[in-house]
């Protein structure tokens, strides 16, 4: 089966939190025999900060927007399934509409939401948003997270279906490595400074650092340069995905802080949780509904409702105990939460769609190219 995908970027994680997710999903769909073309716009300087290494599981089509879109659509109609991810970052409304115009007896369309709270808030806050009327026309709605609340919401809006395909672990990419003393710390948090996350970072990460001046904290991600940092916080700036193992394996504990909208909906473990799990790191997460669907609190993951609780974990749990929690989390992720399992779930959903019952086609050699 041929898939044509519109997404933010497969080649770069720069200002692109979905990169790990895309790579894990499409690498493993390719392993099942799918031929994948991934179209991404040349925006935000991502092509100057590629960090994916060799991509041998997809043909990556880098296009100039909007001038190349007509030619991109001419290629897309040759696919069996066109996937429009949310948050491409350019021409999203046009893509949402024109992907549906490419549908035919042999070509279906899916909307794959990598930020369901934002997409759903968008149509609820603006009843005239054109995407509201498009939702029922998609053959499939996939979501990056959200669980029962998101499924119910999409179905109320007329979706034919809604299938969460959660984040997961690619053990070939995220795995234990030797600690690096230059980034050793008690707690690390990696996340860009975003309006929907900043207040929670203040409440959990910075407040914890203020409460525990004797401990060392590491902060990664873009946008924090203008924020005055506590003396025990060191800022790294953008952290390439290739450096995540090194940093996760060098911290006593790794902090996850969900964006406010994701925490409110629940059932939304971000990529950093599974990246840390792959490294065998001990993860502290903020509290949200559905955590126990993925990992057992207290044994495989630590759950904190406040900065005070984070500090108590840091002061009371030594390196050895933290390592045991991290190893238990890694074993659970390898058993239940790999991208191989997620890709198999997608495969089964597509095969169950009666018009899409077809054997995956043998993939040709993959390349990265751009329109001239």
pLDDT above 70: residue 244:
yes
Phi, psi of 63 (to 5 degrees): -125, 155
- In this prediction, residues 65-70 reach a mean pLDDT of 96
- In this prediction, residues 340-368 reach a mean pLDDT of 69
What confidence score (pLDDT) does residue 364 get? 40
DSSP state of 361: P
User: Mean pLDDT lowest for which of 118-122, 146-150, 357-361, 366-370?
Assistant: 357-361
Residues 6+ apart with CB under 8 A from 338: 168, 169, 170, 171
pLDDT classification of 356: cutoffs 50, 70, 90: very low
Between 363 and 265, name the one with better pLDDT: 265
What confidence score (pLDDT) does residue 114 get? 95
With a pLDDT cut of 90, the percent of the chain lying above it is 91
What confidence score (pLDDT) does residue 311 get? 98
Q: Write the class of the CATH domain 2-168+339-370.
A: alpha beta
User: Mean pLDDT lowest for which of 159-163, 181-185, 193-197, 365-369?
Assistant: 365-369
What confidence score (pLDDT) does residue 64 get? 97
With a pLDDT cut of 70, the percent of the chain lying above it is 95
pLDDT classification of 368: cutoffs 50, 70, 90: low
- In this prediction, residues 214-229 reach a mean pLDDT of 96
pLDDT in tens, 173-187: 999 999 999 999 999
- ∠189-337-367 over CA atoms, to 5°? 85
pLDDT classification of 371: cutoffs 50, 70, 90: low
Domain ranges of the chain: 2-168+339-370, 181-336
pLDDT above 70: residue 357:
no
Q: Which of helix, strand or coil describes residue 285?
A: strand
Dihedral in degrees, nearest 10, Cα atoms 254, 223, 261, 156: -120
Contact in structure between 254 and 65 (CB atoms under 8 Å): no
Single out the residue of 119, 143, 272 nearest to residue 205, CA to CA.
272
pLDDT classification of 353: cutoffs 50, 70, 90: confident
Contact in structure between 80 and 48 (CB atoms under 8 Å): no
Averaged pLDDT score across all residues of the chain: 93
Contact in structure between 156 and 177 (CB atoms under 8 Å): no
Q: Give the integer Cα–Cα distance in Å for 71 and 271.
A: 33
pLDDT classification of 140: cutoffs 50, 70, 90: very high
Per CATH, the architecture of 181-336 is what?
3-Layer(aba) Sandwich (3.40)
pLDDT above 70: residue 367:
no
Q: Which of helix, strand or coil describes residue 267?
A: coil
Single out the residue of 122, 67, 116, 117 nearest to residue 93, CA to CA.
122
Question: How many beta carbons lie within 10 A of that of residue 98, not counting itself?
Answer: 18
- In this prediction, residues 98-105 reach a mean pLDDT of 95
Domains 2-168+339-370 and 181-336 share a fold: yes
């Amino acid at each position: 089966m041929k898939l044509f995908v519109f997404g933010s970027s497969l080649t770069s994680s720069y200002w692109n939190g979905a990169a790990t997710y895309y790579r894990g999903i499409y690498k493993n769909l390719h392993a099942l025999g799918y031929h994948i073309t991934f179209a991404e716009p040349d925006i935000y300087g991502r092509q100057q900060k590629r960090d994916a290494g060799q991509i041998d599981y997809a043909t990556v089509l880098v296009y100039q927007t909007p001038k190349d879109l007509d030619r991109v659509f001419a290629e897309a109609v040759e696919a069996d399934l066109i996937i429009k991810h949310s948050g491409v970052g350019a021409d999203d409304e046009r893509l949402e509409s024109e992907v549906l115009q490419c549908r035919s007896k042999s070509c279906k369309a899916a909307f794959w939401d990598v930020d369901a709270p934002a997409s759903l808030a968008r149509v609820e806050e603006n009843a005239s948003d054109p995407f509201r009327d498009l939702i029922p026309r998609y053959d499939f709605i996939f979501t990056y997270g959200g669980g029962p609340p998101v499924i119910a919401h999409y179905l109320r809006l007329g979706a034919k279906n809604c299938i969460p395909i959660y984040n997961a672990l690619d053990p070939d990419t995220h795995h234990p490595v030797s600690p690096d003393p230059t980034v050793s710390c008690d707690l690390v948090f990696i996340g860009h400074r975003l309006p929907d996350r900043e207040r929670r970072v203040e409440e959990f990460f910075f407040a914890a650092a203020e409460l525990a001046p004797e401990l060392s904290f590491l902060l990664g991600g873009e946008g924090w340069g203008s924020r005055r940092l506590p003396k025990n916080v060191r800022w790294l700036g953008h952290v390439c995905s290739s450096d995540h193992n090194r940093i996760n394996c060098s911290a006593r504990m790794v902090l996850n802080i969900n964006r406010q909208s994701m925490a409110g909906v629940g059932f939304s473990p971000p990529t950093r949780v599974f990246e840390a799990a792959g490294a065998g790191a001990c993860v502290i997460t903020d509290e949200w509904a559905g955590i126990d669907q993925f990992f057992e609190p207290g044994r495989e993951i630590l759950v904190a409702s406040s900065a005070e609780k984070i500090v108590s974990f840091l002061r009371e749990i030594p390196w050895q105990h933290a390592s045991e929690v991290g190893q238990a989390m890694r074993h659970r992720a390898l058993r239940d939460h790999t991208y191989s399992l997620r890709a198999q779930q997608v495969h089964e959903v597509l095969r169950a769609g009666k018009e899409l019952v077809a054997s995956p086609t043998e993939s040709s050699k993959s390349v990265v190219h751009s329109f001239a």
